[in-house]
């Protein structure tokens, strides 16, 4: 009678399917025993996309320089130097993957040393196949959960609060039809629209309807991150890459692995970084700051802007090659003033949403309120309407006198004199809105429909 294959014991026959997305991961096995390397290589090769083996720390170091590994199975007792010593060196160099240590000589001290060195699990030889597979799965699952928790915290902090696209106007119907058509495709999408129109809502809809919906949606506001650190935020960095880099950071492209990376306010991306983003889009690989090794990434990119990028390209502020690479398909989100028939449904949606979040009862929205809402031009678009609804719920009624009052307080721009440049007209208008806002830049940027960073830059140029 034939003996069962020891690589697939009947009590726990892990299949490639059971590992779910792990077949996209890469594993390095480091052990000086030929039999152990062969055993693990055979067990893992049909479960992971890349499996490499090494007999020493020196061989393993060379492989780490050549490839990106998500996990290393590492023997502690290696010729020349211990696996723990090499692991500590790896961590110092910025390796951020998972490490499962294996050893035939276990003690409390060695286990503590392993965990301190950065091991994610510790297995004693001899072990069964299901034990090492479970250790690998636990380590990769722990890493996945850590990434997802990070993304969830960002979403809680950054979500605009709108759950979906609301409205029945022809413009909204056309937008929804385009989203439905584009969602299943891997195509890069550029979303254009004024501030507050719901560009992130459209991006989330594209993600939810896509095959990537079970993977992360990672929003990044390019205007809200300092130019000094945005490269690190996007691509990650290794430990010691710069002052303050006390540990390895994977970056948003890695957090979006298998999912969608949403680059909001793409026009604010520093010019020097635009070339690096173009290279990532074309080659699907990133190089963390301070690292000599590239990391493969698989994330759909959706970009958004409240500016017309063509004048930005003409002015030399935005790279033409990146623009054409992003502008495969463009979605234009109409401003609220151009779809006033959607205002009642959108206001009712915000009422239901915000009353549940605030834990207060809803308030009536009679004909007088609706007439006033539809007559207002909403320079802050849906975001401004949402803020009004929230304020009204707190007050217990719609403050009719305040709807549109802020707009009426802003003095209309004087006709441009023939001897004034366009820049001077822009300056006078912005300063007028800033003055009408009582010097509140957040309020002024909302009324103007520009980002706070843009307003700050303009004011700095004018010495305001």
Q: Where are the alpha helices (DSSP H) in 45-82?
A: 57-66
pLDDT beyond 50 at 11: no
131 and 222, same domain (yes or no): no
321 and 461, same domain (yes or no): no
In the chain, how many domains are there? 3
Is residue 350 situated within a structural domain?
no
Whole-structure pTM value: 0.61
Q: What is the mean pLDDT of residues 354-358?
A: 86
117 and 196, same domain (yes or no): no
pLDDT beyond 90 at 369: no
pLDDT beyond 80 at 445: no
pLDDT class for 457, splitting at 50, 70, 90?
confident
54 and 133, same domain (yes or no): yes
Residue at a domain's end among 286, 313, 334: 334
214 and 120, same domain (yes or no): no
168 and 314, same domain (yes or no): yes
| Closest to 265 (Cα-Cα) out of 229, 293, 224 | 224
* Domain encompassing residue 443: 415-464
248 and 219, same domain (yes or no): yes
Reported as a single tens digit per residue, the pLDDT across 184-226 is 998 999 999 998 898 999 999 999 989 998 899 999 999 888 8
109 and 255, same domain (yes or no): no
User: How confident is the model at residue 16, as a pLDDT?
Assistant: 43
446 and 304, same domain (yes or no): no
463 burial type by CB count under 10 A (0-12 exposed, 13-18 middle, 19+ buried): exposed
Residue at a domain's end among 302, 334, 366: 334
Is residue 428 situated within a structural domain?
yes
Tokens 């902090």 belong to which residue?
157
The answer for residues whose C-beta is within 8 angstroms of residue 48's C-beta and 6 or more apart is: 19, 22, 23, 25, 26, 27
140 and 170, same domain (yes or no): no
265 and 135, same domain (yes or no): no
pLDDT class for 151, splitting at 50, 70, 90?
low
Is residue 402 situated within a structural domain?
no
Eight-state DSSP code of residue 360: -
């Amino acid at each position: 009678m034939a003996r069962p294959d020891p690589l697939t014991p009947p009590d726990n026959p892990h299949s490639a399917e059971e590992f779910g997305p792990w077949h996209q991961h890469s594993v390095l096995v480091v052990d000086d025993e030929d039999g152990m390397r062969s055993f693990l290589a055979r067990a893992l090769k049909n479960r992971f996309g890349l499996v490499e083996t090494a007999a020493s720390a020196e061989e393993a170091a060379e492989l780490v320089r050549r490839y990106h590994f998500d996990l290393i199975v590492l023997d502690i007792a290696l010729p020349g130097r211990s696996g723990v010593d090499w692991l500590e060196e790896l961590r110092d160099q910025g390796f951020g993957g998972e490490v499962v240590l294996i050893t035939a000589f276990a003690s409390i001290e060695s286990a503590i040393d392993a965990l301190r060195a950065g091991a994610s699990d510790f297995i004693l030889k001899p072990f069964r196949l299901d034990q090492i597979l479970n250790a690998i799965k636990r380590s990769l699952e722990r890493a996945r959960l850590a990434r997802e928790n990070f993304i969830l915290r960002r979403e809680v902090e950054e979500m605009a609060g709108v759950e979906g696209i609301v409205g029945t106007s022809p413009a909204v119907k056309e937008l929804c039809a385009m989203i439905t058509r584009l969602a299943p495709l891997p195509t890069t999408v550029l979303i254009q629209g004024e501030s507050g129109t719901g560009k992130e809502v459209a991006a989330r809809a594209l993600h939810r309807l896509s095959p990537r919906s079970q993977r992360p949606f990672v929003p990044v506001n390019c205007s809200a991150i300092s130019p000094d650190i945005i490269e690190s935020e996007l691509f990650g960095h290794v430990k010691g890459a710069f002052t303050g880099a006390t540990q390895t950071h994977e970056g948003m492209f890695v957090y979006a692995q298998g999912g969608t990376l949403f680059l909001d306010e793409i026009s604010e991306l520093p010019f020097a970084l635009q070339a690096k983003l173009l290279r990532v889009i074309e080659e699907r690989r990133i190089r963390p700051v301070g690292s000599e090794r590239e990391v493969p990434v698989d994330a759909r990119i959706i970009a958004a802007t409240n500016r017309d990028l063509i004048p930005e390209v003409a002015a030399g502020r935005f790279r033409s090659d990146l623009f054409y690479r992003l502008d495969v398909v463009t979605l234009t989100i109409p401003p609220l003033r151009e779809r006033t028939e959607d205002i009642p449904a959108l206001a009712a949606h915000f009422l239901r949403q915000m009353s549940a979040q605030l834990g207060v009862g809803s308030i009536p929205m009679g004909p007088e309120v609706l007439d006033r809402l539809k007559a207002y031009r909403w320079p802050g678009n849906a975001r401004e309407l949402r803020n009004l609804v929230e304020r009204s719920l707190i007050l217990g009624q719609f403050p009719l006198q305040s709807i549109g009052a802020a707009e009426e307080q802003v003095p209309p721009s004087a006709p441009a004199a023939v001897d004034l440049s366009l820049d001077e007209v822009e300056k006078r208008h912005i300063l007028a809105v800033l003055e009408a806002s009582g010097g509140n830049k957040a309020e002024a940027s909302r009324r103007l429909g520009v980002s706070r960073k843009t307003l700050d830059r303009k004011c700095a140029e004018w010495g305001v």
